[in-house]
Amino acid sequence: MYGRVRTPFGWTSRPETFTIVGVTPADAEPHLVLEEGRILAKKYRLVKPAGFGGMAQLWVAKNESTAAEVCVKVLVPDAADEESVARFRREAFAAARLSHRAIVRVFDLMELGADGQTSKAEKPHALAIVMELLSGETLSDLLMKKGKLPLEEALDLMIPVAGALAHAHRAGVIHRDVKPDNIFLAKDPDGIVIPKVLDFGVSKIASSDTPGLTAAGVMLGTPTFMSPEQAKGAPTVDARSDVFSAGILFYLMLTGTNPFEDASFHAVIEAILEREPAPIPDLPEPVWEVLAKALAKDPAQRWADGTELQIALRKASGRRSTSEASIPIAPRVTSDSELSLPPVGSQTVAPDEEREEIEELPQRRTRAARIVVGAVGVSLAILLAALIRGQIVGPAPEPPSAAATAKAAPEPAPSPAPSPTVVEAIPAPASATASATTTTATATATATATATIATPKRDPVPKKEPKKEPNKDRGSRGEIARDPGF
């Protein structure tokens, strides 16, 4: 059973009665007793209680295999109605399919028996969600201390929350209960604050086999943060309902008051349907225009989803990314080296300026490729021209020298001489020698001019000594002059 309870930030749904797990009557069936040191599913050792979340108990636990600390949220079906069990399963299913740094991570859903171990029974004794362990406070706690936040600090928190809703909307998940209690300001060891969206228990999941929780005329969510269509009990709502709730959340952060707060539940519903929120003094006009559009009564006049809301807030505040915020925000993991993504996808939509830069990347790469191809083509053309020039105008072959000619020519075989004869060398005429010398010089000069390379200096051709004829006197001394061909 859930009853409406008034808090400093409006009416909310709280359980009227609940049973604390571990307190069992003597004659009742055994229940799962949660206590320090208890091991669940042979894996998670309970360290200390961390409070209550609706009908469930929260425990700090330690993974016995990895020594990692986690948060275990345990719901005992015997202590809750069927609707609470369905919402508990829906919370695990919706959060597990989302992967975003501003959404609490869910690792596992366990069905347990009375002994705390995994059960395969049709109706398990207990259900447990294993999620990341967060350290910090809720946005509700922060507003209780400060009352309201400066614009820059409110933007530091609101832009990541809008990004988380954008990711959920792209995955077909509608939260339907956006409020300060469901925004946890997690602080890591370095002091970086990361807003985390919690509790998808009343979420709507598109194309899901999970049975619906909403019937016509039934309101789901926290009244003071409902959209007009939720307040009317519409059986179906879309992402624009979350946009309206996010607008109330942003208004509350800036002013410290809920624009639809009133004395009674019915007055709150009437204010959501009819009252227009008052403008916020000293708020920059672009930011107010974004907020006013988010709080439009007609869904058709609002931002279509969290993506549009996030982009509008960034443009109105002059921010291109959450890293430019005054509070340090953890950098986005990209990857982006890209990690394997869940089926629903986890790519975040960039603002308009970043989208334009992404769209220009292929054009820049195309221009760079054309420049490289052009440079390679010019280089090949120059190289080809050099090769052709070398073939047409190449160095002329040097004329063979007299020594090379003499060596190349075969030496004639000596003819048989009938008798030794003395032959005297007849000198060549002077005119013939001069003519040969002139011809050789002309050919050398022509070859040198054609090749454009100086011809190396040649050694003078050695003169052949005249072959000595056999001495006629040898024959008279009894020596025989043999014929070479003998």
177 is catalytic: yes
Return the number of other C-beta atoms located less than 10 Å from residue 314's C-beta: 24
Say how far apart CA 271 and CA 257 lie, in whole Å. Answer: 14
With 0-12 / 13-18 / 19 or more C-beta atoms within 10 angstroms meaning exposed / middle / buried, residue 215 is exposed
Say how far apart CA 169 and CA 171 lie, in whole Å. Answer: 5
Least Cα distance to 213 among 62, 304, 86 occurs for: 86
The residues pairing with 128 across neighbouring beta strands, listed in sequence order, are 74, 110
With 0-12 / 13-18 / 19 or more C-beta atoms within 10 angstroms meaning exposed / middle / buried, residue 273 is middle
Say how far apart CA 450 and CA 254 lie, in whole Å. Answer: 92
Say how far apart CA 203 and CA 175 lie, in whole Å. Answer: 4
Least Cα distance to 88 among 60, 62, 114, 53 occurs for: 53
Q: Which of 177, 181, 242, 262 is catalytic?
A: 177
> Are 73 and 53 within 8 A, CB to CB?
yes
Pairing of strands 173-174, 204-205: antiparallel
> Are 45 and 39 within 8 A, CB to CB?
yes
Say how far apart CA 396 and CA 452 lie, in whole Å. Answer: 9
Least Cα distance to 390 among 473, 451, 328 occurs for: 451
> Are 18 and 55 within 8 A, CB to CB?
yes
Tokens 């006197």 belong to which residue? 473
Chain-centre distance for alpha carbon 376: 33
Residues with active-site annotation: 177
